[in-house]
Amino acid sequence: MPFVVQPHNQPNTYETSEDLADQLLRVQYDFYQVLIDVFLERFTREFQDFCTENGVLCRYQAYGTPYYMGLFQGNMIPDIPESNNWIYSQSRDEAESEAYTWNQGHGYMIWNKAASTGAHISGRKITSCEAMTNVQGVFRTSLETIKQSDDMNFITGINHTVLHGFNYSPPEAGFPGWIRYGAYFNEQNTWWKYFRNWADYNARLSAVFQHSGPVAQVAILGRLDDFWAEVGPTRPPFNTRPWYYARLWEPISNLGSSCDYLHTAVLEESQPNGGKLICGNMAYSALILTDVRSLTPRAAEKILDYAMDGGKIIFTGKLPERSLSLMDAEKNDQVVKTRMRAALELGNVHLVPAPEESADLLVWTASLFERIGLDPLVHISQAVSHLYTMKQTRGEQEIYFFVNSHRSEAVEFDVSFDSGNKFPYIWDPHSGVRYALSQGKSNELRLRLDALESALVVFEAEEMDLPLYSGRVAPVKRKPLKALWKVKFEHADGSVFTREMDELIDFRTTAEEAIRSFSGTVTYSTVIEESEGHEYICLADVNEGVSELRINGESAGMKWYGNHIYEVESLWKPGSNLIEIVLTTTLANYCGSLK
């Protein structure tokens, strides 16, 4: 920084280079605090007021204020706070891994949490997201990947999806036409005819979450003010310090709880009430500060008030020890120090070491819950990193959303709820069908979610006349179907050709260029002569395609995500059986071959 701004009547107090560095941090913080406040007031608030005066809702992506600075404050202002996330912000291998690791770069899920927290605290019903964005892999994006990303949007509080990637393209532009960022939501996409399945799935869940209220147990305060002072409102670097701050929502959800991410201004207006931290429309049962070094005096006072009211508080890494502003710095530093030390003397306040980057964050977070005696919203028998949950309420209804984000593995678990004297039901958002989960009232259930499957568990005050849920599990032991297959290739470019194959292969591994570069619909057909019947047919290694299965001309169903396992017992006949598998691929192989 080439110069120092010295407030009026504020003497130079630095004697060492460390003192000078400290004052430079304070000056930079004061400058950017004013900058962001002015921006929010004269642009964001002005935009919201303009929309209100003209009778329209204001939708706003606060990450442009700029970038990570003012992200949380900006999401408190608009009618519809909007996030922005990307399907592929990592390497291709990571993005296609079995247990997806969510993006930590542009459009990471912390942006979702910032938007949904703003909506939760300010009482907004809709949190939207510019979703399915990417600049790489436009043609390899599948409905399966879209669903997987969509489920994480819901888990992080998004309830309105604004799709990125449908562009007008004139017929004379040909294939693939005018494209930009996104997932090629286009009638020329091979899976476009199945798009309605995901759209219906998304619509059902969006309706549920828009018409119910969020429940979050934990409030997280990061070192955002310290980051302002150290870095300033630049585009890069994205604030991931400490490394676990932006990821902490994940193990909290894995453990059966949920969280919001606070900023200092919200904390300064909070109120303690019976061990709860009241922030606007939300009431939190615990507060976690992640390596926070600096606080405003008012925020320090509020933390002490909450601690003295019995609130559960955890400081990770260090105890805040200073203020940030240059004005009255010495006096304000003392306020922060004394308040934080007073809070730490209480039995409900803990200072714990920060986790090493090699640590299992799920295990570490579970130890935090145990330390402060925080019971999660639901008790899951065995928490795993790919099982997520959240809770909403609507009147007397309690709504729990469970998601298995693993692409190939099912998860089965016992779960108990503190839902009183109510009746549990399960709603499959894929089909829209509801079932009773037990005969009568029960707060202890056993659930099973197949790969990439999700479910709503709803507790109702009244009993409904619904069929009892019963899930069937395909056997682990399998045998291959030995057959000669007639294969019809219907290419996306309009061409058609046929082959005969004695096994179903991965097109990318074949030496034949016509098959290796194929994208479109493939129909495999064969006749099986077996006296023994079959309960299931499992299609292995579908590679993100959409499959349909027909037995003797009758449909056994369609699969567009997860494991492609079909129940065929009722369709199988003794003797000859005609099997037809219809597989629709993504456009990746074909578009990769274009010059």
Q: Are 279 and 219 in contact (CB under 8 A)?
A: yes
pTM given for the model? 0.93
Q: Could you tell me which residues come within 8 angstroms of residue 254 by beta carbon, excluding any fewer than 6 positions away?
A: 362, 365, 380, 383, 384, 385, 387, 388, 389
Give the pLDDT of residue 69: 64
Residue 531 clears pLDDT 90, i.e. is over it: no
- Whole-number Cα distances in Å, 405 to 208, 215, 253: 20, 21, 12
Report cis status (omega within 30 of 0) of the bond before 66.
yes
Please give the Cα distance from 113 to 62 (Å, whole number): 12
- What are the CA-CA distances from residue 18 to residues 13, 15, 27, 82, 293 (Å)? 11, 8, 14, 41, 16
CA distance 445 to 389: 15
Q: Which two tokens stand for residue 500?
A: 């005969």
Rounded Cα–Cα distance for residues 228 and 292 (Å): 12
Residue range 172-192: average pLDDT? 88
Pick from 193, 198, 204: which is nearest to 163 by CA? 198
In this structure, are residues 454 and 473 in contact, taking their beta carbons and an 8 Å threshold?
no
Can you list the positions of beta strands (E) in 381-480?
387-394, 397-404, 411-417, 423-428, 433-436, 444-449, 454-460
What local confidence, expressed as pLDDT, does residue 11 receive?
53
Q: What is the mean pLDDT of the chain?
A: 90
Return the beta strands (E) in 310-436 as ranges: 312-316, 349-352, 378-380, 387-394, 397-404, 411-417, 423-428, 433-436
Element (DSSP H or E) covering residue 34: helix 17-39
Residue 179 to residue 166: CA distance in whole angstroms: 8
- Helix and strand counts by DSSP (H, E) for the chain: 15, 29
Residue 508: pLDDT band (50, 70, 90) is confident
**In angstroms, rounded to a whole number, what is the distance separating the alpha carbons of residues 501 and 481?**
13
Per-residue pLDDT tens over the stretch 19-29: 888 888 899 88
Is the confidence at residue 101, as pLDDT, over 70?
Answer: no
Q: How far is 108 from 87, CA to CA, in rounded Å?
A: 9
Taking residues 462-468, what's their average pLDDT?
A: 93
What is d(CA 205, CA 146) in angstroms, rounded to the nearest whole number? 15
Q: What is the pLDDT of residue 359?
A: 94
The b-or-e profile of 536-562 (16+ CB within 10 A means b, else e) is ebebeebbbbbbbbbbeeeebeebbbb
If we measure between CA atoms, which residue out of 585, 511, 258 comes closest to residue 402?
Answer: 258
CA distance 499 to 489: 8
- Model confidence pLDDT, tens digit, residues 316-327: 999 999 999 999
Tell me: the pLDDT tens digits for 279-295? 999 999 999 999 999 99
Give the mean model confidence (pLDDT) for residues 481-500: 94
Q: What is the mean pLDDT of residues 426-439?
A: 94
Q: Cα separation of 521 and 507, whole Å?
A: 13
Residue in the block written with tokens 């390899």: 140
Measure the CA–CA gap between 428 and 426, rounded to whole angstroms: 7
CB 241 within 8 A of CB 316: no
Q: Please give the pLDDT value at position 475.
A: 74
Residue 67 exposed, middle or buried by CB count within 10 Å (0-12, 13-18, 19+): middle
CA distances in angstroms from 204 to 456, 461, 590, listed in the order given: 11, 22, 34
Q: Dihedral, CA atoms, 208, 210, 212, 215, nearest 10 degrees?
A: 110
Q: Which contacts qualify for 188-191: CB closer than 8 Å, 24 or more apart?
A: 188/492, 189/587, 190/492, 190/519, 190/520, 190/521, 190/584, 190/585, 190/586, 190/587, 191/142, 191/143, 191/546, 191/560, 191/584, 191/586
Q: Cα(255)–Cα(380) distance, rounded to whole angstroms?
A: 7
Q: What's residue 70's pLDDT?
A: 82
Does the N-terminal peptide bond of residue 237 adopt cis geometry, omega within 30 degrees of 0? yes
- Confidence band, pLDDT 50/70/90 cuts, at residue 437: very high
Percent of the chain past pLDDT 70, that is, above it, reads: 92
Kindly report which listed range (56-65, 103-112, 495-504) carries the lowest average pLDDT score. 103-112
Confirm if 400 and 212 have CB atoms less than 8 A apart.
no
- In the chain, the N- to C-terminal Cα span, in Å, equals 49
Query: Is the pLDDT confidence value at 433 over 80?
Result: yes
pLDDT band, residue 331 (cuts 50/70/90) = very high
Q: Is-contact 71 114, C-beta < 8 A?
A: yes
Rg of the chain over all Cα atoms, to the nearest angstrom: 27
The arithmetic mean of pLDDT across residues 451-467, rounded, is 95
User: Which of 93-97, 183-187, 215-219, 350-354 is the least confident region?
Assistant: 93-97
Residue 111 C-beta-side C-alpha neighbours within 13 Å:
26
